[in-house]
Structures are given as C-alpha cells and as structure tokens.
Amino acid sequence: MPSQPSSHAAERHVVFAVAPELVLLDACGPVEAFWRAELAMRAASGTSCTSGGEPCAYRTTLASVAGGVLPTFAGMPIVTERLDSLEPATIDTLIVPGVPIYDTADHTTALQPELVAWIAAAAPHARRVASVCTGAFYLAAAGLLDGRRAATHWRNAAQLARRFPRVEVDPEPIFIRDERDGRVVWTSAGVTAGIDLALALIEEDCGHAVAMQAARRLVVFMKRPGGQSQFSEALAAQATAGAEFDALHGWMAANLHGELSVERLAEEARMSPRTFARRYVDAVGRTPARTVAAMRVEAAAHALVQSRRPLKRIAADCGFGTEQNLRRAFERSYGVLPLDYRARFAAS
C-alpha cells in the first residue's frame, strides 16, 4: 500500500542508480524536486536550510557501479557513490534514470550487467521503485516490469516492447504507477517527465500542499497528471502531419475561441473544403473536428490550473460556448469534471 501523506514523516532515502552516459536532466530534475520539497518541509518546521541538521523529508544519493566521476550524455561529469557501499535496507525509493538507447541494424545498446544485477537485488528492499525515461530498460532487464504496464520516452517505446515482450508498454502517459503483488513500480516518460514523476512521489509521501510548494519553487506552472499525453495536441498534430499543416495548427491553437469549422479551416489553408478535409485526414490520421476538440480540451485544462477564471469564461475563451459543453467534453477526455481537475492539479 502507498504511504499515507504526512507533513511530519521521517527522512526518506532516495537513491538514483545511474549508468554511464546518464541523461543528466533525468536525474537532476527529480533531485531538484526532492530538494525543493525538503525546503518546503524545513520551512514548515521552522528549520533554516543553512542551519544543518538531519533532513526532515528527503535525502538523495546518486550512485553508480564504479562510483566516482561518471560521464553523462550532456558531457558534464557528476560525482557518484559506489552502489555496493549502500545498504539496500536503508533505501526508501530506488530511481533509475535513463541513458541513450539505440536499437538499429548496426548497433543495439548493451545495458550495464552489474547495474542490472544490483537493481534486481536491491529492489525487493525498497518501498518503491521508479524509472525515468529509458531507465525502464534497466527495470525491465531486472525483471521488475514483467506483467506490468510501463512508460518510457515515446521514441523508445517500440524498442522497449521488442526487447522485453513481457512488459505492457504504453507510449502515451507522462508517468504510470503500477501496484500489484504488494509492490509499487513507477515509470515515466522522458527527460522533464522525471520532474512530474518526482512531484507525484512527493505528493504521495507528503501531501498535495508540499508537492505544490515544490512545483512553485521549480516554476513548474502545471503539475501534469500521469495520464496526460506526452505530446501537446498541437505538437502531436504537427509531428504527425509534417510541414503541410504546421502554420494551420499554430493558427488553430491561437484562435480556439472562434469558429473552426471545416470551411473556415479550409479557407485558412487556402483549399476547398472537400480537398482540405481529405488531405487533412490523410496527413494527420483524424478529422479536423477531432483535432479542434482535443486542442480546446487541452487549452481548458491549462486554463483551469494556471488561472482562477470561472468556467463560463474558460468555456468562451476555449470555444466551447457554454459551461455544459465544456463539462461534457472535459469529462469525456479526462474522466473528471473541470472543477475537480482544478482542485486536484492547480498550483494554489
């Protein structure tokens, strides 16, 4: 069972088990999030961050097989402890950040066998295990994702599924929490999604208020739910369509409050409605109306968490017309009502 949120919990030792060529932000983003939570907890307890003393929320350790200076993918070296110097029983949360993973006819990235073995041995002692980005490959190699649903960077999802067919790979979510057989395993998408994952772990441990304070300190304006897609709707549409409709998608995103019928979009694209509708579906894989609907829901979600505007105003700004239309579309897309979503994810 997950721990109950507590503002007075003892320190939790978070260990980042890292491999050479570490994707730096996969580790330093979550480390920073845990430190910001630590600052929030110290402030709540009246302890200055410069006064020393034991942590009251989190203690983080970066460790590698050999220890010492570790090269990273970004070229900036980091200093790590040796994994075999750690006592697995002291680890609360074990996190494995990502490394570049290649799977081509000429080269398949080999995982560090010593790190795989250490993860497999240490994981049963930790309260929970997590990966960021392609760190999921290490969890899978250690057998920790067998029969579980897992996320990774969208570019590596197909590779993960091929190399580890017993893993149920989902390329969409920001992060996934999978609890079964008394074990909790978290996996996340790539790079900045590690911050979203860390904030979710902080919220599980310390409650919503501490997680939101950490998010504000990080200047993360929206704490994204795990089920949110790795792509924004505009970016996803552009990535699928290529250059042909790039300008149109940007114009759509800036004009969600207006009329976005097929006729109006065709006019903006300088095509006849029939030609536009056919070419759009061929390029994007869905109708223009579905893209408009998805963009409007996403824009409403951002407005809900980044402002205190009333539903009526958001519905008008995002092109829904009425609050009822907004509620229906939002519940259909996210499974919750708009105000419930705001209460869950708003920064204040």
286-313, pLDDT tens digit by residue?
899 999 998 998 889 888 887 889 999 9
Residue 197 neighbours by CB distance under 10 Å = 29
pLDDT for 171 equals 84
pLDDT for 223 equals 52
pLDDT for 26 equals 96
Tell me if 20 sits within 8 A of 99, measured CB to CB: yes
pLDDT for 177 equals 95
Is residue 42's pLDDT more than 50? yes
Burial of 347 (0-12, 13-18, 19+ CB in 10 A): middle
Residue type, 187: T
Q: Which CATH code is given to the segment(s) 12-217? A: 3.40.50.880
**What's the pLDDT band for 1 if we cut at 50, 70, 90?**
very low
Tokens (6 digits) for 72: 């990273």
Tokens (6 digits) for 3: 């721990």
**What's the pLDDT band for 164 if we cut at 50, 70, 90?**
very high
pLDDT for 336 equals 78
Length of the chain: 348
pLDDT for 343 equals 79
pLDDT for 305 equals 80
* pLDDT digit string, tens, across residues 247-264: 888 899 889 999 999 999
Alpha helices by DSSP H, 123-245: 135-141, 157-163, 193-206, 208-217, 233-241
Tell me if 92 sits within 8 A of 127, measured CB to CB: yes
Residue type, 257: H
Boundaries of every domain in the chain: 12-217, 233-345
Is residue 90's pLDDT more than 90? yes
CA distance 224 to 301: 10
**What's the pLDDT band for 222 if we cut at 50, 70, 90?**
very low
Tell me if 226 sits within 8 A of 173, measured CB to CB: yes
CA distance 106 to 155: 18
pLDDT for 105 equals 61
Is residue 122's pLDDT more than 90? yes
Domain 233-345 has CATH 1.10.10.60: yes
pLDDT for 51 equals 47
Is residue 20's pLDDT more than 90? yes
Mean pLDDT of the chain: 86
pLDDT for 3 equals 41
Q: Do domains 12-217 and 233-345 have the same CATH topology?
A: no
Pick the closest to residue 225 from 164, 147, 304 (CA basis): 304
Among 3-7, 83-87, 206-210, 305-309, name the most confident range: 83-87
pLDDT for 117 equals 98
Tell me if 45 sits within 8 A of 93, measured CB to CB: no
* pLDDT digit string, tens, across residues 172-182: 788 999 998 88
Among 80-84, 193-197, 251-255, 304-308, name the most confident range: 80-84
